[in-house]
Structures are given as C-alpha cells and as structure tokens.
Amino acid sequence: MTTIELKPTKALQLLEDAIAFNSSASEELILNINKMRDDGTPRDTIDVFLNELLAKGPDQPLPFWTISKRMARISRRARMASLRRTLDVTTPPLTENESNVDNREQASQRRRRALFALLRSLGNESEDGSKEPFIVRLEKRAIKAEKDDPANLRNRLPEGLETPEYDIIASAIKGGKNVEIRRYKPYSVCAVSMNKPRPTDSSKTDAKVQMPEMSGAGSFGALAGYLFGKNEASTAMKMTTPVFTSPLNEGDRQMEFVLPSNYWASVSSAPKPFADSGVTLQEKKASERAVIMFGGYAAKKEVDRRKKELVAALLKDPEWRMADEEVTVAQYNDPFTVPWKRLNEVSVAVVKR
C-alpha cells in the first residue's frame, strides 16, 4: 500500500505559506496531493489527510478578533479565518435538518474539493509586493461573486468550447433574478445513466478521472472516454460545454456531454460508442426553456433552492408556464474551477400560457 510522504506538519506549513504571500507553496502542496493519487494512495487515506488539514487549518477554533481582514496582514490565525470564510461562502455549513450521515459526507467532500480548487487559485496569484495576503484577495472575490448579474455570470463561459446555440426571448421575467427564457436550436449529445454500474473492466471504455471520489465521476469518465477516442471509430473529438444532468426514468438520471456541432444535424454520423460502454447518442430538438443562472457548486441543496426560485418566478409570469417538472442541470466549468468563477444553470421546459 502506498503511503503519504508529506507529513501533516509540513502540509499545514505549506498551507499557511500559500494563503499568505508564497504562491509556490500552494503549487508544492498540490503536487504532493496529485502524487498521492498517481501513486495509488487509497481514496479514504487522501480524504483523511485533507480532513486533517482542514481541521488543523481553517476549521480549527479561532479567536473572535480574527474577523478583521486587517489583522490578516500580520496574523497567521487571521489568515486562516479568511480561508474559512472563503470556504463557507463556497460550501455553506450544514443546517441541523441536514446533519444525517450522507449529507455530512457530501458536505465534507465539497469542502475538500473547494480547498483543492482554492489552492490552485492561490498558485496563480502574483507575488507583487502587495501587503494584502493572497487569501484576503480571494475572499473579496468570492463575496463579490455572490452578487453577480447575468452579464458577469455569462462571462464565466469557458473560452474556445462549443455550447448549444439559443436565442434569449425574455431576459427578465417577473420576480426572477438571473432568469431568462431561451429558444434552443437543435443539438446532439452523448449520454449515460448515472445509476447503472460501470463495466468491470471500464478502462477499455472510460477515461481516467482525476478526482474519482467526486459525485458522478464514473459517468463523467464514461462520456469523456467516448469523446476522447474510446469508440468504434477511435475518433477523438473536441471537448464541449456544459455537462448536463437530466431525468432518465424513475429513480435515475443521465449525464450528457454536448457533441461537437458537426454532429448536430445528424447524430448518426457521430462515432458509435462501444456496445458495453452504456453510452448512447441522442438528438435534442428545438425547445423553449426557462433558465436560472448561478455560481458556486451545483450541489443538490443549491439545485433544489434554485428550482424553487425558478418555479416561483414562472408562477408569477403572465406569459410563460412550465411544460413539466423535469429539471435539467448544466455545469459549464471543469471541476477545479474556483466557485466564484463557475457558471451553473437549472432549467425547465416552458410553453406560452
């Protein structure tokens, strides 16, 4: 069994340096975490390592005075408090009603993921002589992102990736913040069930996923494998955006990758998936949908909240109503994008009243 070479005390020191003024410290910490994964360190062992880093770092008991951002310039604990607040913006703590085992583990997983994303972002900060620690800069961005308008949210679209085409036919329905009505043009997707188990030897059909502990990682790997050349034609295609999740049948959902646009007119011209991959090719017809945009992570709690906002707005709208209650979730950014640069959407089909 592979063991972790990075000692907890060294990891904590690197974290303290990374949130202060040393961008190379975050890079070193990320390299060590990635090395654990590449060397085959068990997922549970890595989770324990990250949980301990959180417990001894931002989630440790901190004195009340650390609320001051000014103190972060000179105080290690104040910087840890800034890191905690940034994590809390992106991964809100559980309420008492959500404190069952499954919810606690999901929340813990999101917090580990958010920490890793923050480390990547800290590594991109410039050591420009500013007196403001890296983490304080990131905290300000995270707070500002909570108030983003549709234009700023749309600017988070990844550059250079194709996405389904649509026309905005209503940009601000009554009572709906960041809600718009879109008329989508036809496009095609590759799709896979999120509940069915993957093949025993999935390496023949699936791409390797960097964070296999993430929810939906198996489905993501299946679709990425198909798109990157594990298909009957051995044809690699360009990555697109977003990743959709939508209802499949009772108790199941499917994950969908958008195919490149040269397959939108006729999905039959796309490379055929391997028979045992579970991947199917589907055409999406032109449709009208109500869409609400938001940042952060598309966790179930957040998706449910946004769905309620969308439904409430449609109930007040004099022109549009829901065609059905099936909700589709779209996530536009890669899993390592920091929450305040992420774009997500919840949408439902609509018709004229």
Architecture per CATH, domain 150-352, reads as Alpha-Beta Barrel (3.20)
- pLDDT tens-digit series, residues 234-252: 999 999 999 999 988 777 8
The structural domains of the chain, with segments of one domain joined by +, span 8-145, 150-352
Neighbours of 189 (CB within 10 A): 25
Q: Is 108 exposed, middle or buried (0-12, 13-18, 19+ CB in 10 A)?
A: middle
- pLDDT tens-digit series, residues 63-98: 999 988 889 999 999 999 999 999 988 776 655 565
d(Cα 351, Cα 341) in Å, to the nearest integer?
Answer: 32
d(Cα 319, Cα 69) in Å, to the nearest integer?
Answer: 47
d(Cα 51, Cα 275) in Å, to the nearest integer?
Answer: 40
Strand partners, 331: 243, 344
- pLDDT tens-digit series, residues 4-22: 567 889 999 999 999 999 9
- pLDDT tens-digit series, residues 183-208: 999 999 999 999 888 877 777 888 88
Closest CA to 157 of 39, 19, 295, 26: 295
Amino acid at 72: A
Contact 179, 316 (CB under 8 A): no
pLDDT averaged over every residue in the chain: 88
Closest CA to 227 of 266, 192, 187, 265: 192
This prediction has a pTM of 0.80
Q: Is the pLDDT of residue 23 over 90?
A: no
Q: Is 338 left (phi over 0), alpha (psi -120 to 50) or beta?
A: beta
Tokens of 40: 């085959």
- Residue-level pLDDT at 345: 96
Helix (H, G, I), strand (E, B) or coil at 268: helix
d(Cα 257, Cα 278) in Å, to the nearest integer?
Answer: 14
Q: Is the pLDDT of residue 3 over 60?
A: no
Confidence of residue 1 (pLDDT cuts 50, 70, 90): very low
- Residue-level pLDDT at 344: 95
